[in-house]
Structure 1
């Protein structure tokens, strides 16, 4: 009963132990029925001390990876549904950043293979931004009045966006590229997207 109220916060349950013991545990009435659905797998583990826990995690590596990809797929399915049928999707660096600053992003979706920097420029009464490959030199930026902007800073795009997300109470999700829609996030949307709390028109 201990974990039932927190079941929504559980990513999954791994069960390990000697063959008969773990089977008896799962077949018996030891685990609440709502937690049974969150069992990712059962694994043969010889020890019941701390070393047994490490052994369990090692043996469950594939199951854990599959569970992570499944969660990523659910996030991307929701994103594409909103993109095609709704109005709660944002993508690309500039629109997603604007929505983040507004506090309208519920979940920030970042490709785990994102390798970009954000260059911040001073244009007098406003800041400007460039989204550049990490291997590129820092480009010059022309302000709206035609003047050349001064570089304020250059930082990793993930850190830049996550800092804003943290300030606005937005959850950040890193999306694997090991499935088609995860690869599309990187290749078609620049590795940056979001699911909104409400429509902003941005």
Structure 2
């Protein structure tokens, strides 16, 4: 795979990743509630899901979801339900947590919990599989071994995902220090409402039959 191909893929992937979605909203929320250091666990979970997603596309799962209404619906409804559950929890939130208490371990949101939450949100989103199954093959040279090429794309995708989520987490952590508790409460509610809206859009999302 040529360097120019990787750079072009990185540019396209960055535009897609930077668009606000479930994982970046979680990074923003985790940064505001638990601080950047603890939010790193959620980022690692999302990065792990990137490798699962690219690996699944390489093995043909993206094509399966595009062809099978049943399996597409299974993944879609699991993802929508999980997003809605997280969104409702944020809507019922009492506001951002105190970062000093979170750092000392006196608040909820263990690294394992944050990692699992971000991983599950990303890995149960069928849009990601369909998007990558349409995008990734365009950057694969069929005359070369495909495994190393998909691995290179996965590394680039995960690295960009981490950079974008880190930026959102830093914004969230900064906001919780500058805003009043009431403003932070509304930040939680806005993120919760956005996740619910994403859950709704996912529930009504239909695979292309064309």
TM-score range, shorter chain: under 0.3
TM-score for the superposition, normalised by structure 1: 0.24
Larger Rg: 1
Q: Which has the higher helix share?
A: 2
TM-score for the superposition, normalised by structure 2: 0.24
Q: Tell me which of the two structures has the higher relative contact order, counting C-alpha pairs closer than 8 angstroms and 6 or more residues apart.
A: 2
